[in-house]
């Protein structure tokens, strides 16, 4: 099978998808923004060919590169795994008659108001929402629904550009920062109270072949705004528990509604006073290295499983569910440059056999703002057979390790 993979180099874990495709027998053609000389020897071995373009989200450039490849060989699949790449790749895929995620599916997974309207129409619980191109439209929704509200870009990923507002004054300030007055279009949503998590799947022809559930502690919006918190994302190995039946059933309903075929999916949910409500739908793998968390928990190579789904239409092996596994972000006490750490020796002594990966930037490394995400600065990835024990270990790490900057 000939598979074009978009942007094989950046971000770094993109190489794992290329490696896996080559490993299961695909003939892989890369399209990316880096010059060919940037590719290392491993990448050159995995790729049968490579096309450099100015931007993988510039549709005309991408279309021309795909057309060039098709002039030489038959192309069976055109794949992308980064949120920002999904829509341009879908448009080029349809223009060149290549099977895969459709423009409609990509659009529903990208445009928040349209996404939620389809969910509501089908009876899938989610927040009240609207699109807004003017301040008057935002105010009208606030008057009708009431506070608190969430304002974010219509195509937002994660908590990027997201504001929670509790009154008219905060709404006005958020709108000024949002770019609405400069032509941006916003998604305005009812704030959902409750615990937040996500479910990730791998599908073949619309059927789930793998699924994993992760919990946020605390919820994302609080985690991305509060420096002293060391937020956690914890994947459970208790996925067979009856309490997850509803979210698994709703996930399959969304897959049918959005006509998702052979693809990874990422769906965020809340559970609170109003019950289970879906928040975001993505036709792609999760970010922040979450597949590496699932791999560590399940004696699995999920990148290979994805490649098997794309190339052979079936899984290779099932997850072991031996471990729960979580990641904890360790924030510097201020922005600047890393000065040093405290508490690492104690944590390594107590839990070194449970830590499966870590990033601890060297002293002198510039810090990143906490809004840059869970992996922007220091972090640890930890696993344990018991979910509750793992939560306790992660809490101790968060209370013990200190990252100092100056």
Instruction: For residue range 61-83, list pLDDT tens digits in order.
Output: 999 999 999 999 999 999 999 99
Instruction: State how far the Cα of 356 lies from the Cα of 296, in Å rounded to an integer.
Output: 7
Instruction: State how far the Cα of 391 lies from the Cα of 266, in Å rounded to an integer.
Output: 23
Instruction: State how far the Cα of 310 lies from the Cα of 385, in Å rounded to an integer.
Output: 31
Contact predicate 115/187, CB 8 Å: no
The per-residue pLDDT for 314 is 98
CB neighbours of residue 321 within 10 Å: 17
Residues 307-316 pLDDT 10s: 999 999 999 9
Instruction: State how far the Cα of 145 lies from the Cα of 141, in Å rounded to an integer.
Output: 6
Contact predicate 64/40, CB 8 Å: no
- Please list the alpha-helical segments (H only) found in 179-301: 220-223, 245-257, 290-298
Instruction: State how far the Cα of 163 lies from the Cα of 167, in Å rounded to an integer.
Output: 12
Instruction: State how far the Cα of 179 lies from the Cα of 185, in Å rounded to an integer.
Output: 8
Q: Which parts of the chain sit beneath pLDDT 70?
A: 156-160
H or E element that contains 345: helix 344-351
Contact predicate 363/336, CB 8 Å: no
Rounded to a whole number, what is the largest CA-CA distance in the chain? 60
Token match 């059933």: residue? 249
Contact predicate 45/29, CB 8 Å: no
H or E element that contains 363: none
Burial class (CB within 10 angstroms; exposed 0-12, middle 13-18, buried 19+) of 239: middle
Contact predicate 89/32, CB 8 Å: no
The per-residue pLDDT for 292 is 98
State the Cα angle at 11 between 6 and 17, rounded to 5°.
55
The per-residue pLDDT for 160 is 66
Contact predicate 187/156, CB 8 Å: yes
Q: What is the DSSP letter of 299?
A: T
Q: What is the DSSP letter of 373?
A: -
The per-residue pLDDT for 393 is 98
- List CB contacts of 149: < 8 A, sequence separation 6 or more: 141, 142, 164, 165, 171, 188, 189, 190, 191
Instruction: State how far the Cα of 130 lies from the Cα of 141, in Å rounded to an integer.
Output: 7
The per-residue pLDDT for 54 is 95
Instruction: State how far the Cα of 289 lies from the Cα of 15, in Å rounded to an integer.
Output: 12
Sign of CA dihedral 305, 307, 308, 314: positive
- Please list the alpha-helical segments (H only) found in 35-102: 41-46, 59-70, 83-95
Helices and strands in the chain, H and E counts:
14, 18
- Please list the alpha-helical segments (H only) found in 264-312: 290-298, 302-312
The per-residue pLDDT for 158 is 56
The per-residue pLDDT for 180 is 83
Indicate the pairing of strand 186-190 with strand 195-204: unpaired
H or E element that contains 397: helix 387-400
The per-residue pLDDT for 102 is 97
Q: Which domains does the chain have, with CATH numbers?
A: 2-100 (3.40.50.20), 128-190 (3.30.1490.20), 195-405 (3.30.470.20)
């Amino acid at each position: 099978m000939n598979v074009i993979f978009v942007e094989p180099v950046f971000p770094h874990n993109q190489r794992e998808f290329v490696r896996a495709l080559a490993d299961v027998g695909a003939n892989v053609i890369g399209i990316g923004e880096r010059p060919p000389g940037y590719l290392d020897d491993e990448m050159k071995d995995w790729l049968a060919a490579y096309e450099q373009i100015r931007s993988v989200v510039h549709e005309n450039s991408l279309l021309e590169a795909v057309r060039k490849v098709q002039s030489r060989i038959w192309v069976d699949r055109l794949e992308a795994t980064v949120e920002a790449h999904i829509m341009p790749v879908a448009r080029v895929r349809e223009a060149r008659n290549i099977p895969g995620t459709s423009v409609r599916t990509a659009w529903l997974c990208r445009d928040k108001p349209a996404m939620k309207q389809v969910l509501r129409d089908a009876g899938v619980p989610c927040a009240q929402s609207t699109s807004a191109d003017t301040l008057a439209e935002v105010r009208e929704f606030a008057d009708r629904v009431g506070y608190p509200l969430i304002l974010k870009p219509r195509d937002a990923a994660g908590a990027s550009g997201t504001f929670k507002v509790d009154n008219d004054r905060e709404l006005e300030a958020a709108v000024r920062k949002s770019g609405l007055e400069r032509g941006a279009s916003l998604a305005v949503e009812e704030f959902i109270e409750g615990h937040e998590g996500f479910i990730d799947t791998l599908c073949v022809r619309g059927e789930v072949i793998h699924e994993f559930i992760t919990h946020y502690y605390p919820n994302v919006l609080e985690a991305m705004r509060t420096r002293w918190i060391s937020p956690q994302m914890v994947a459970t190995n208790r996925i067979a528990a009856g309490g997850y039946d509803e979210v698994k059933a709703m996930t399959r309903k969304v897959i049918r509604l959005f006509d998702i075929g052979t693809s990874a999916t990422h769906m965020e949910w809340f559970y609170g006073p109003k019950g289970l409500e879906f928040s975001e739908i993505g036709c792609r793998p999760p970010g922040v290295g979450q597949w590496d968390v699932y791999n560590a928990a399940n004696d699995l190579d999920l990148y290979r499983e994805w490649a098997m789904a794309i190339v052979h239409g079936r899984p290779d092996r099932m997850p072991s569910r031996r471990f729960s596994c979580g990641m904890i972000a360790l924030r510097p006490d201020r922005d600047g440059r890393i000065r040093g750490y405290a508490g690492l020796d104690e944590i390594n002594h107590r839990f070194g056999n449970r830590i499966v990966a870590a990033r601890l930037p060297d002293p002198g490394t510039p810090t990143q703002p906490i809004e840059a995400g869970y992996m922007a600065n220091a972090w640890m990835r930890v696993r344990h057979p018991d979910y509750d024990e793992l939560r306790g270990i992660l809490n101790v790490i968060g209370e013990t390790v200190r990252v100092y900057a100056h």
